[in-house]
Chains A and B, each alone.
Chain A
Amino acid sequence: MQLTLWTYEGPPHVGAMRVATAMRDVHYVLHAPQGDTYADLLFTMIERLPRRPPVTYTTFQARDLGGDTAELFKDAARKAVARFKPAAMLVGSSCTAELIQDDPGGLAQALQLPIPVVALELPSYQRKENWGASETFYQLCRHLVHKPTERQPKARPSCNILGPSALGFRHRDDVKEITQLLNQLGVDVSVVAPLNASVADIQQLANADFNVVLYPEIGLSAAQWLQRQFDQPFTKTVPLGSRATRDFIAEVCALTGLTQPAQDPENAHATWYAKSVDSTYLTGKRVYIFGDATHAVAAARIASQEMGFEVVGLGTYSREFAREVRDCAKALGIEALITDDYLEVEDQIQALQPELILGTQMERHIAKRQGIPCAVISAPVHVQDFPARYAPQMGFEGANVLFDTWVHPLMMGLEEHLIGMFREDFEFHAGAAPSHLGSTRPAADISAAQPASPQTPAALTPSEPSTPKPPSSPTSSPASALPTQAASNQATWSIEAEKELGKIPFFVRGKARRNTERFAQDLGVATITVETLYDAKAHFSR
């Protein structure tokens, strides 16, 4: 058993639902107990779909377990075909139905339905949502894709886009952006799947010249199978970020023999924005990255190469792609965190004290509790990250969106300078939120949010908002008035040193505190004085 307060991914049948719901004429009959229909509202509320997901649940109850649950399933499957008239059907079990072993695949076969039926084996106690989506899409391809017709010589090369699905983070706009990009290069997009694809579309997949895998978590297995079966090559670069987009274009051009455009299109602003002097203060900002493997790896590259940040932590919950993330982390000189335990992520963030977190919905709230600026780069996300406006992450417009999104939570340059210089302002002080965010609500002061003993993980203490400093007397905060009694082997802060620490700009104060304590411990210093603080600063600045 695993204690879980938050899960980064749902069960695998939710992944299967994401594929079924993305498509147009596929129905999914899911053997599941009453209550599992909660998953519908992921689609109707978070993604705001104006239709019910094409899923029929058997919703068995306890009294059905004494009877024939297999008959219940057959009845549901029969009725679903009659009512919804799909072109193909998925059948499978949820975690509870997996235990009662009714074998939906065999049962559906016995019904001799007039449409293709794809039986899904999704081990709920081993695998998770993205794997479920990937497996479902792969099985659909295996059952449905026709042998390619005699290839007609075409004026333009064509490709499929594989991976976008329902409930995907920005999939809607990524598809639009990359389709435009490909069209401008001279490539036609033949089929996008599973998003908005019909069964007939899936059958045609093998007719394209190559595949574009936008989301390896969902599309890679199918692309690999298509390559094995029909010699259809696929792209390995995910066009997230300006550089990756250029690499992607190069890869497409190499596959198709098209000439690579010499220049970025006119809308590629991100590169210039990052170069402009206003962005100089972004250099070396310490950033922590967590998300699915694709978005985490891409974000790490953008952060270090395109934004000039320092990536201090990188991790993913996608175990299937752990190797890619480890390689990326290694290149950055750090160790990747591969986990689906959010408490581990929280502990690492607490220890690293980054100045910016790029993560999922969950990291946003870890960030909130620790008073660290944060932007969302990956699923799981909530309703606000299915925006009405055009908001791709991929391609050149995606790079523009990323630049704005990541810089927005950071305090702007001039304000940051002034707060470093004048610490006693009654309005613009370290405890206040960056003024461009327009909120008067004080952000949690990092030093105040620190537990007295660094050995007590913040996770263990009941959550309580750190007391904001009274705006009128920013220097007389309780934290600086009292020496902090640390754990036995830790040095104690003198009152003066604590005060001096308070003069360090708030977003690097946590890091300074940690470094000084480490320095004092290494040297066996019992009391940290102002001298120790600056000795440590000089020591670590080398």
Chain B
Amino acid sequence: MSSVIPIRTETTGCTDVTPLVERGQREVFCGLTGIIWLHRKIQDAFFLVVGSRTCAHLIQSAAGVMIFAEPRFGTAIIDERDLAGLADVHEELDRVVNQLLARRPDIRLLFLIGSCPSEVIKLDLSRAAERQNQIHHPKVRVLNYSGSGIETTFTQGEDACLAAMVPGLRNDTSTAPALMVVGTLADVVEDQLRSLLERMRLQVNFFPPRNSQAMPTVGPNTRFLLAQPFLADTARALQSHGAQHLPAPFPLGVEGTTAWLQAAASAFGVAPEMFENATAAPRQRAEKALAVQRQVLQGQRIFFFPDSQLEIPLARFVHRELGMDLVEVGTPYLHRQHMAPELAWLPQGTRISEGQDVDRQLERCLADAPDLVVCGLGLANPLEAQGITTKWAIELVFTPIQGYEQAADLAGLFSRPLKRRTKLAA
């Protein structure tokens, strides 16, 4: 019953690729945007941005309608008095944090989040966080990280957030190796991956947890798998606690998920038969579901604008499992080590670009006339108006896409705009 994925022959890969590095206007989100999914993942955490009205406006625009459901994020807007002298900023912050915690007594973890304005005026938020910690201990823990645009791009905000939590993780003193999966995943995906790993008799902790009171432990026996490609700092912080990174492709598509699970299975000595037993059924199911999508997407030419660092794994998936042709794969930042297994799977000669000069990239895009463009919301409608079909990239961060059961859903995200175009044209 299992249909075989027509893996292409040109698998010499892009390991040694020299990306096209560009500087210029970057049409990307800042790291503050990460708050939008992180506040839903860690349910007893509050995300307080210390920034300007622009920061508040950004989160509310990006969060759309959702903000009204008593959000677990907000902004302490810096005003003139704060700029006049740094002396009373910490007192101001005391006041705002008190006001906030009185309003939301259920909060157990508070993030003070740096923004461009707070970074530029060199507001010492780590000291502020320490101070707040002393004031509100033990009821509330206060951490800080930067989600500023000058330092982070979109999903890097999650990296900064998770990295800030790592030093507070309890040390794992047990001698048996333990598995940790790092990166925010949809609850349904988390449950599926946990169940797959448990079928291989592997116990797994997920980081970040759904509740700040359920933090995993970390130590020299921790082996971690990255579920997301944008976690460079988090990985480094975990490694500094002695944890070992298990290199793997990312769990997108059938191949990616299998290889990702295999990396854990190999590290923990899972017998091949047990791995096969655990994965065979969902794998075949996913392949069958993907075959339907492949009929729409095979041979279509796709162009990725940089957005989330998910672009390279996504490009690998759409190329190898759906037969799409890669025109350009843009990424805001290329972490060669974490991306190595992915790069090896890309067809040789793929045009990979790092960074952005949006006007020139748009010129290239229009000249290449791809069938589908993955880009941000600032570019999507303008490109559609020029007759180019787009898939807006942020949806890929807000949708369950990892694992076997989601492989066809992920493909569906790419095929839907093309189907729609055909339908409306008919």
Contacts and interface: CB of A to CB of B under 8 A. Distances in A.
B381 A44 contact: yes
B82 A1 contact: yes
A290 B378 CA distance: 30
Interface stretch (B99-107, B158-166, B211-219, B243-251): B99-107
A5 B376 CA distance: 25
B104 A100 contact: no
B262 interface: no
B382 A50 contact: yes
B65 interface: yes
27 contacts: A1-B89, A1-B92, A1-B93, A1-B96, A4-B56, A4-B77, A7-B56, A7-B77, A11-B53, A11-B57, A14-B57, A35-B31, A35-B58, A38-B378, A40-B379, A44-B377, A44-B378, A50-B385, A52-B379, A60-B150, A62-B119, A95-B54, A96-B52, A96-B149, A124-B54, A382-B65, A460-B103
B121 interface: yes
A3 interface: yes
Interface stretch (B20-28, B167-175, B264-272, B309-317): B20-28
A48 B384 CA distance: 11
B85 interface: no
A128 interface: yes
A37 interface: yes
Interface string A6-37: 11011101100000000000000000011111
Contacts of B58: 35-36, 38
B77 A2 contact: yes
Interface of A: 1-7, 9-11, 13-14, 33-42, 44-45, 48-52, 56-62, 64-65, 76, 79, 83, 94-96, 99-100, 124-126, 128, 362, 365, 368-369, 382, 459-460, 462-463
A459 B103 contact: yes
Nearest to B81: A1
Contacts of A362: 68
A34 B74 contact: no
Contacts of B96: 1-3
B377 A62 contact: no
A44 B52 contact: no
> Nearest 4 pairs between A and B by C-beta?
A35-B30, A35-B149, A50-B385, A40-B378
A52 B151 CA distance: 25
The CB with the most chain B CB atoms within 10 A, among A3, A83, A124, A368, is that of: A3
A61 B151 contact: yes
Contact of A96 (B68, B73, B117): B117
Contacts of B102: 460
Given A3-B96, A35-B58, A462-B106, A45 B121 contact: no
A187 B64 CA distance: 41
B298 interface: no
Interface of B: 24-33, 50, 52-54, 56-58, 60-62, 64-65, 67-71, 73-80, 82-83, 89, 92-93, 95-96, 99-100, 102-104, 106, 116-117, 119-121, 148-151, 153, 359, 376-382, 384-385
B388 to A, nearest CB: 12
B161 to A, nearest CB: 16
B25 A44 contact: no
Contacts of A39: 57, 61
B149 A33 contact: yes
A3 B74 CA distance: 7
A126 B116 contact: no
B381 A125 contact: no
A44 B78 contact: no
A502 B172 CA distance: 58
The CB with the most chain A CB atoms within 10 A, among B29, B31, B33, is that of: B29
Nearest to B99: A3
A379 B53 CA distance: 17
Nearest to A364: B68
The CB with the most chain A CB atoms within 10 A, among B83, B153, B377, B380, is that of: B377
Nearest to A43: B378
Contacts of B104: 462
Nearest to A46: B61
A9 B69 CA distance: 19
B385 A34 contact: no
Contacts of A48: 381
B53 A45 contact: no
A463 B69 contact: yes
Contacts of A58: 25
A5 B100 CA distance: 10
Contact of B80 (A64, A125, A462): A125
Given A4-B77, A83-B359, A99-B121, A128 B53 contact: yes
A319 to B, nearest CB: 14
A365 B56 contact: no
A56 B25 contact: yes
A136 to B, nearest CB: 16
A9 B52 CA distance: 12
A99 B83 CA distance: 9
Nearest to A37: B27
Contacts of A5: 67, 71, 73-75
Contacts of B30: 33-36, 38
A462 B83 CA distance: 33
A96 B121 CA distance: 9
B150 A96 contact: yes
Contacts of A95: 52-54, 116-117
A36 B153 CA distance: 11
A368 B359 CA distance: 43
A45 B380 CA distance: 9
Contact of A51 (B62, B95, B385): B385
Given A5-B71, A44-B382, 10 more contacts: A1-B92, A6-B67, A7-B56, A35-B58, A49-B381, A62-B150, A65-B120, A125-B79, A126-B79, A368-B68
Contact of A125 (B52, B151, B359): B52
Contacts of B359: 79, 83
A128 B29 CA distance: 22
Nearest to A343: B103
A212 B52 CA distance: 35
Contact of B29 (A35, A45, A365): A35
